[in-house]
Structure 1
Amino acid sequence: MSDIIVIGGGIAGVSAGARMANDARVILLEAEEAIGYHATGRSAAIYIRNYGNAALRALNAASEPVFLEPEGICESSLLSPRGLIYVALPEHASAIEGLLQGATGMERISPEEALRRVPILRREAVADAAMEPGAQDIDVDRLLQGFARLLRRRGGRIVTQARVNKIEREGGAWTVEAPQGTFTAPIIVNAAGAWADAIARMAGAEPLGLTPMRRSAVIVPAPEGHDVSAWPLFACAGEGWYAKPEAGKLMVSPADEDPFEPFDAWPDDMVLAEGLHRFQQAVTMPITRVERSWAGLRSFFPDRTPAVGFAPGLDGFFWLAGQGGYGVQTSPALSALAADLCAGRSSSLPDEVVRALAPERLMTN
């Protein structure tokens, strides 16, 4: 018997399990053959301080020190310089003001400065621009594997190919059945990503209205004659596309958010074609070849804020879900909060942030 069963081996579950294992006996169940198979392994892998609403920005800020000095997780910083430029097409010119409002460390730059940093942008396509110099690449694999090592070092166990097929509560404990065995603990942590509402139903908890949304991306060759390695991530302020240097090439995403059932996601050719068309309206490079394409699921609650906390009225059922596109960059703060709440401790996060994440805000009954 364990103290805590974590369901889900993405960055949310693995990081929370590692933190919780400092105080409790933890077992983590992952449905796939390896941890990080779904959203975590398909992340754009960048830390953006000004990404998301006020609660998420607070989590971003609280996570940055851990990325810079990941004591116990990795031996050196998990961040490397990248930068981020938002470019506003003429029809999106007002979007830059919205991005700058309330932002920390972001500044307006001229269209000419944007072109200097990303020379393939079309001058006539850039009406306004803003830059967040502090945006940085995250080494997601080192982060995930570092938390996994910490979990095991603290006595925790990770069981893969353990898709949950039954959950029951009896005598003050949860029993979870999976192909790898039957597991028992007084607390279960629902970190199942796109499957979190399904896990809730299995446990008799009220689903919170999670919507998995597909996000697609492709790898294309770098534009001829350009070394893209030092370019920032550059994105349409109207959220029509974004592009990021990736191993000497460009990763381009149509920034799609299509509702999708919780399955292993695959890209849609029409969505990719439309997104690449939007991208090409803003740049001078032709795209003659797509080398690779993929898709992942980013899961959101209606207010686009994660749910972190115990489900009211259901002893021992803990929500850690709905991270959307922010799961990797908020994982240090969210895992610390989850461990504190499970252990009955106060969090170092502001009270208003903890309240904004409480699952009860989403309950209908």
Structure 2
Amino acid sequence: MTHPDIVIIGGGIAGASLGAELAAHGRVLILEMEDQPGYHATGRSVAFWEETYGGPVVQPLTTASGPMLAAPDPDFHERAFLSPRRTLHIGKAGDEGVRDAFLDAFADNVALQIVDPAALVPGLRPGWALGVMEASCQDIDVAALHNAYLRRFRRQGGVVRLSTRLERARREGDGWRIETRDGPVACGLLVNAAGAWADGVAMACGVDPVGIQPLRRTVVQLNVPDLPSPDLPLIMDLTGRFYFKPEGRDRIWLTPHDEEPSPPCDAAPEEMAVAQAIARFEEVVDWRIGGVAHVWAGLRSFAPDRAPVYGFDPAAPGFFWFAGQGGFGIQTAPAAAALAASFIGGNRLPPVLASLDPRPYSPARFR
């Protein structure tokens, strides 16, 4: 039987980032059910860091992660994970209330500026009169970030076991006995970083679920031969019906911002969502579409209140939740991992998180 100190279920950005924080302080094993880590949500991200994305409850984690993503320790990664993008939030006449509520929600924490969207987006169709610029938004190199965390984890002695699914687990003495098809694993602490499978993992461990629901998000990559500029901002609807951003000289990534409830699975796009995405794109700009280059879907997993779930389960000793990160797990990864590691180690919050109130993220809110 294998006897690590900590077992993390899931090798996506959640498990990899937390594992990299913990591996220097004990023996840590990541169990990943797929044959490669990050196959699901992590590998299907549209890849941006935006302070307002996810709302006020997520914003402190995103903001705190920014400096760590922009200027990582050279021993962690040799260059920034971020590159300039900007976000232009747009709306139509009648959306003033939505715009003003958006501005008020972030007034004290994020720099936002009212702008004329037509002056910034060539080919913007008439009617899109409202604009808010979020200049801090940047693209994230998701693959580089995930690989850097896995590299750091392994360099510190962490072990990743692929194609290994937790079948069930139970409390045994002061720890956990985990059953897998490759044999049992015993550990003192079990971390649930299983993304869309988080509630299922909890139930397999005899722990009550918290209500994490996977929601399917569709992404379409379009060929746009006459794209005005690859440096245009991410364009996001104030009412949440779409967003799109350039990807190179003649491609854009587009989503209808769909949130279709789904069981945990290898998500696939549906034709209706793809058609809806394209129709909404054509409502916004007059750019000629040269064809659909690629479509895919991923699962974004939310707790009932849409806040992440970070902390020890109050009813299950040695069971730690690190899940429910929605579509924000990548942009919040450095701060979220540091926060969770401080809980696990019983340490004070690092200075960058000193003003953060961790209570909104605690699983105790569901108990």
Secondary structure in structure 1 of the residue aligned to 2:67: helix
Task: Give the deviation of 1:169 after TM superposition.
Answer: 1.6
Secondary structure in structure 1 of the residue aligned to 2:163: coil
Task: Give the deviation of 1:285 after TM superposition.
Answer: 2.1
Which of 297, 320, 344 lines up with 1:318 in the alignment?
320
The CA distance in 2 between the partners of 1:130 and 1:54, in whole Å, is 17
The CA distance in 1 between the partners of 2:355 and 2:134, in whole Å, is 28
Q: Report if the CA contact (8 A) 1:233-1:243 is conserved.
A: yes
Secondary structure in structure 2 of the residue aligned to 1:276: helix
Deviates more, 1:315-324 or 1:172-181: 172-181
Query: Aligned residue for 2:281?
Result: 279
Q: Report if the CA contact (8 A) 2:224-2:288 is conserved.
A: no
The CA distance in 2 between the partners of 1:180 and 1:140, in whole Å, is 30
The CA distance in 1 between the partners of 2:189 and 2:215, in whole Å, is 28
The CA distance in 2 between the partners of 1:192 and 1:215, in whole Å, is 18
Deviates more, 1:240-249 or 1:1-10: 240-249
Q: Which runs of 5+ in 2 are unaligned?
A: none
- CA deviations on 1:71-95 (whole Å, 9 max, x unpaired) are 1321111110001101102343432
- CA deviations on 1:176-232 (whole Å, 9 max, x unpaired) are 2223332211101000000000000011111001110000011111242x3531111
Aligned-partner residue type, residue 308 of structure 2: P
The CA distance in 1 between the partners of 2:268 and 2:194, in whole Å, is 19
Q: Report if the CA contact (8 A) 2:88-2:117 is conserved.
A: no
The CA distance in 1 between the partners of 2:255 and 2:54, in whole Å, is 18
Query: Aligned residue for 2:265?
Result: 263
Secondary structure in structure 2 of the residue aligned to 1:328: coil
Q: What does 1:142-221 align with in structure 2 at a 5 Å threshold?
A: 142-221=144-223
Which of 96, 100, 117 lines up with 1:97 in the alignment?
100
Q: What does 1:119-158 align with in structure 2 at a 5 Å threshold?
A: 119-122=122-125, 124-158=126-160
Query: Aligned residue for 1:238?
Result: 239
1:110 paired with 2:111, answer: no
Task: Give the deviation of 1:280 after TM superposition.
Answer: 0.9
The CA distance in 1 between the partners of 2:100 and 2:179, in whole Å, is 51
The CA distance in 2 between the partners of 1:52 and 1:244, in whole Å, is 18
Deviates more, 1:71-80 or 1:144-153: 71-80
The CA distance in 2 between the partners of 1:76 and 1:274, in whole Å, is 38
Normalised TM-score (structure 2)? 0.94
Change beyond 3 A, Cα 1:276–1:91: farther
Secondary structure in structure 1 of the residue aligned to 2:331: helix
Which structure has the highest helix share of the two? Answer: 1
Q: Report if the CA contact (8 A) 2:224-2:290 is conserved.
A: no
The CA distance in 1 between the partners of 2:67 and 2:366, in whole Å, is 30
Query: Aligned residue for 2:20?
Result: 18
Q: Report if the CA contact (8 A) 1:161-1:179 is conserved.
A: no
Which of 36, 39, 45 lines up with 2:38 in the alignment?
36
Task: Give the deviation of 1:316 after TM superposition.
Answer: 0.4
- CA deviations on 1:1-54 (whole Å, 9 max, x unpaired) are 111000001101100001011211100011111111000111111000122233
- CA deviations on 1:120-165 (whole Å, 9 max, x unpaired) are 311x131200111110001111100000010001110011111111
The CA distance in 2 between the partners of 1:318 and 1:94, in whole Å, is 40
Which of 323, 330, 340 lines up with 1:328 in the alignment?
330
The CA distance in 1 between the partners of 2:248 and 2:164, in whole Å, is 34
Task: Give the deviation of 1:276 after TM superposition.
Answer: 1.6
Secondary structure in structure 1 of the residue aligned to 2:169: strand
The CA distance in 2 between the partners of 1:181 and 1:333, in whole Å, is 34
The CA distance in 2 between the partners of 1:236 and 1:192, in whole Å, is 30
Aligned-partner residue type, residue 291 of structure 2: R
Q: How many residues align?
A: 358
The CA distance in 2 between the partners of 1:21 and 1:101, in whole Å, is 41
The CA distance in 2 between the partners of 1:5 and 1:102, in whole Å, is 38
The CA distance in 2 between the partners of 1:223 and 1:89, in whole Å, is 27
Task: Give the deviation of 1:283 after TM superposition.
Answer: 1.1
The CA distance in 2 between the partners of 1:73 and 1:273, in whole Å, is 41
Deviates more, 1:229-238 or 1:86-95: 86-95
Q: Which runs of 5+ in 1 are unaligned?
A: none
- CA deviations on 1:302-347 (whole Å, 9 max, x unpaired) are 1110010000021100000000011000110111111111111122
Deviates more, 1:11-20 or 1:274-283: 274-283
The CA distance in 1 between the partners of 2:117 and 2:196, in whole Å, is 39
RMSD: 1.4
